[in-house]
Amino acid sequence: MGSLNDPIADLLTQIRNAGGAKKRFLDLPHSRIREAIVKILKENGYVAHYLVKEENKLRTMRIFLKYGAGRRSVFQQIKRVSKPSLRRYVSCSEIPRVFGGMGISILSTPKGVIDGRAARKKNVGGELLCIVW
């Protein structure tokens, strides 16, 4: 059932693989951090939408992928930055601008899981979870 040590890397890998295989959707076990990351991906146009469903006290998340012309995936790369073995923290001024603003960075901050643009606006830093473009 995936990686026990790094559920975020597992989420990103499954999204990357499903996009490469041109799947319409994928089902994953639910967690609050995964849902927060997928919500940011939806707000920035990288996934079409997602649903959280509960069956027998077990919550799962269904993520509907988004494709551009010719069923090409809307993202080129999803990359995990901070890993359990090597955490990467950034201050507000160090938040990377991914491809000159064409991509997004996702951070876990004291104000919650937010994208780089919102973190700069709120003047907070945090753990740089991943970058997407």
Per-domain boundaries in the chain: 7-132
List pLDDT tens digits, range 9-39. 999 999 999 999 999 999 999 999 999 999 9
pLDDT above 60: residue 1: no
Residue 132 pLDDT level (bands cut at 50, 70, 90)? very high
Q: What is the pLDDT of residue 5?
A: 85
How far is Cα 21 from Cα 15, in angstroms, rounded to an integer? Answer: 10
Q: Assign domain 7-132 to a CATH class.
A: alpha beta
pTM of the model: 0.94
Residue 101 pLDDT level (bands cut at 50, 70, 90)? confident
pLDDT above 60: residue 2: no
Q: What is the pLDDT of the chain when averaged over all its residues? A: 95
pLDDT above 80: residue 3: no
pLDDT above 80: residue 60: yes
- Extended beta strands in 1-133, E state: 25-29, 47-55, 58-65, 78-80, 89-90, 104-109, 112-115, 126-132
